Amino acid sequence: MNVDQELSLFRYLCERPYRLETTVTEGLAYLLKTRHWAKEAIHKLLESHGYKQIFADFDCESQYQFKSGPRPDLALLELDTSSTFALLELKIDAIFTPNQPNGYVRCLIAERTSKHCGGEILLFIVPKSRRDSVWKQVNARLGLEYVVEPVSGYWLRVNNVTVAIVEWNELLRRLEEDRNLDDREAEEIITIMKDKTEKDLIPEVPPITPKFLEDKLIALEILHYMRLAETINTKLSDGAFAALTPRKDKAAPGHGYAWTGRYYYCSGYEWLWIGFEPECWSQHPISPIWVVIQGSKNRAVMRLKSAFSGLIDAEEAFFDTKPPAALKIPITLKPGHSGDELVTDALDQISHVLELIVSSKDTE
């Protein structure tokens, strides 16, 4: 079993979206507290952004609480004076809070003034896909309060405090370069952080195009699809689809980017969803209405692959093996059809899908 497959507490917590950024922050803090080579890697990162003073050692505190209110993810403190000389804000998909970055800069300036040391540098660690948007916000917010002095690239200074954007892959590369090759625990932590900060990300929202916001026809088209999904799910509860049991705990909309639909139990599968699915529609421009089977038990879902092989080969269904495994089937909407015709066609297709699901269970 390789490091990507090992089950650990760190990996378990990283799989919880609401815990991800906190867990990754604690993972880096743990390495900085327990590995001297990790501190050396951070020193090199700080030096590459103009920080010249070198300490034989330093302390690291996660969720550091300043008396004035701000609480950055990681604070690096001089051992002799306990003054904060660097702040690291680790972002994956979190947005800016009101204290960022101005409140952090004020705290660093106060550290330097009150203790005559520290208060040097603030690094935002971000995925490459978010670098430009975060940099734009950093510049705009700091510009409201300070005279911003550009240095180079994603690097500026305000009141002699360096503020810079660093990509996650640069931080992780430096950790990998300095890591003890026999340190399997550190290897696992770095590998998981790499997956979670550069691969499994929610896509950035691009700039809004005003003409789309003002186009009533586009809005009406989307509204029609949403209403169609609602109507289809209403008809599925009429009793003719005994294989489907609505999930009361998941009766509201919500699968991925889906806003209208419903979850069901079906023939032992816990996560069958039917509804308006823009994400699948964007990946496979066939239909806005989809059936998606996705489960916590990947092996059970993967057994559907053979039953749906004909549709998959014809590109009328799509199997995603990336965990969690998912089978995605577009409900074809015939041009020129409307109202009852669309609903009847959809119900016929769903019925066929359910027959294939049941047949897959019968052959086990």
Q: Where are the domains of the chain?
A: 9-199, 211-362
Which CATH architecture best describes the domain 211-362? Answer: 2-Layer Sandwich (3.30)
| pLDDT tens, the chain, 364 aa long | 344 456 789 988 888 878 889 999 999 999 999 999 999 999 999 999 888 776 768 999 999 988 878 899 999 998 888 888 999 999 998 888 888 999 999 999 988 887 767 778 999 999 998 899 899 999 999 999 999 999 988 999 999 999 999 999 999 999 999 998 999 999 999 999 998 888 767 767 777 788 888 899 998 998 899 889 989 988 887 777 888 988 887 655 544 445 678 889 888 888 899 999 888 999 999 999 999 998 767 677 888 888 999 999 999 999 988 777 889 999 999 999 888 899 999 999 999 999 999 888 655 5
- What distance in Å separates the CA atoms of residue 291 and residue 244, rounded to the nearest whole number? 12
Q: With a threshold of 0.75, does the pTM exceed it?
A: no
Measure Cα distances from 257 to 124, 220, 279, 288, 291 in Å: 28, 18, 6, 12, 14
Tokens 């809005």 sit at which residue? 219
H helix count then E strand count, the chain: 14, 13
Residue ranges in the chain assigned as alpha helix (H): 9-14, 20-34, 36-47, 102-115, 131-143, 168-178, 184-194, 210-213, 216-236, 278-283, 298-302, 304-307, 309-313, 339-362
Spatial CA neighbour of 173 closest among 193, 203, 199? 193
